[in-house]
Amino acid sequence: MDLFKTKTAVITGAGSGFGRELSLAFAELGWKVACADINITRAEETAQIVSNSGGQAVAIQCDVRKSEEVETLAGAVFTRWNSADIIINNAGVPVIGIMEKIPVDDWKYEIDVMLMSVIYGCRTFIPYFKKQGWGHIVNTASAAGICCLPEMGPYNATKAAVIALSETLRSELKGYNIGVTVACPTFFKTNLMDQARYTDDHQLKMADAFFNKYSFGTIESVTKKTMKAIQKNKLYVIPQPDAKIFRFLKRMTPQIHHDLTGFLYSRGIMDKLLGV
């Protein structure tokens, strides 16, 4: 991490899960971490853990669905530390279910919390990074944006958009010494589903089966590979073997991939494999 001059990271969704683990990873390197979360109590818990681990931390309440609050977050960080090396747009809540049964308001909510929040984070921090002459953007997407499993429409669509945005910014920002990394993990155990919105219990049972039966990585391993990708300025983090397989199949045989998924799903074979 010697490429980064002030050792300062801003992480949204830092109150739990992947965001908290990333905060701890930076703390172990002695970084200053701004722990942002809509739940200030959880953000403060993370900030305290970071401080106990040898890092400097501040907890900031931020609803990433509101551009003005993301701008306030950036202002607070630059006022306090006069710099930020990395912004990690990580906050998110899944919306899942049968496409036409998902309320329109839930579709709008998912777009706000999963996509617009990333847009706000990028467009807010990029001018700061350009002015100081360096920076790095990390967007938390998902392999769901690549393989697009059934009953995950809003989540799949927003994560695919985050991947596309990250690829666009990688090209746009290369000349400004600003790196871009997008993380695309599959299932690993976090509290991601605690606030999930869904149309029926079938989605929860599917998610539970994936997390408990078909998880090919831990939060620690995904975090470690993400940190390595940042250090090496890699665009993609594909941290688990199943994510790599899905990406290969999608790129090499896209129609076969989706037709096979559709066959397994429509015949109930997927449910049998998952045990739901």
* pLDDT single digits (tens) 19-52: 999 999 999 999 999 999 999 999 999 999 999 8
- pLDDT, tens digit (0-9, with 9 covering 90-100), for 198-207: 888 888 788 8
**Inside any domain, residue 19:** yes
Among 94-103, 198-207, 217-226, 237-246, where is mean pLDDT lowest? 198-207
Residue 237 pLDDT greater than 90, yes or no: yes
Integer Cα distance of 80 and 36 in angstroms: 14
What would the mean pLDDT of 3-24 be, rounded to a whole number? Answer: 94
- Return the CATH number at 146: 3.40.50.720
What would the mean pLDDT of 155-166 be, rounded to a whole number? Answer: 97
Given this model, what pLDDT does residue 11 score? 98
**Inside any domain, residue 276:** no
Residue 1 pLDDT greater than 70, yes or no: no
- Above pLDDT 90, what percent of the chain? 73
Integer Cα distance of 43 and 81 in angstroms: 18
Given this model, what pLDDT does residue 267 score? 92
Q: Choose between 23 and 251: higher pLDDT.
A: 23
Q: Three-state DSSP class for 152? A: strand
Residue 217 pLDDT greater than 90, yes or no: no
- Above pLDDT 70, what percent of the chain? 98
Given this model, what pLDDT does residue 71 score? 98
What would the mean pLDDT of 57-65 be, rounded to a whole number? Answer: 97
Given this model, what pLDDT does residue 238 score? 95
**Inside any domain, residue 81:** yes
Number of domains in the chain: 1
Q: What domain range is 62 assigned to?
A: 8-251
Average per-residue pLDDT for the chain = 92
Q: pTM above 0.75?
A: yes
Residue 62 pLDDT greater than 90, yes or no: yes
- pLDDT, tens digit (0-9, with 9 covering 90-100), for 163-197: 999 999 999 999 999 999 999 998 777 777 777 88
Given this model, what pLDDT does residue 250 score? 85
**Inside any domain, residue 239:** yes
**Inside any domain, residue 154:** yes
Given this model, what pLDDT does residue 203 score? 86
**Inside any domain, residue 65:** yes
Q: Choose between 87 and 251: higher pLDDT.
A: 87
Given this model, what pLDDT does residue 206 score? 83
Categorize the per-residue pLDDT at 275 as very low, low, confident or very high, splitting at 50, 70 and 90.
confident
Q: Is the dihedral of CA 73, 75, 81, 84 positive or negative?
A: positive
Residue 145 pLDDT greater than 90, yes or no: yes
**Inside any domain, residue 265:** no
**Inside any domain, residue 13:** yes
What would the mean pLDDT of 114-132 be, rounded to a whole number? Answer: 97
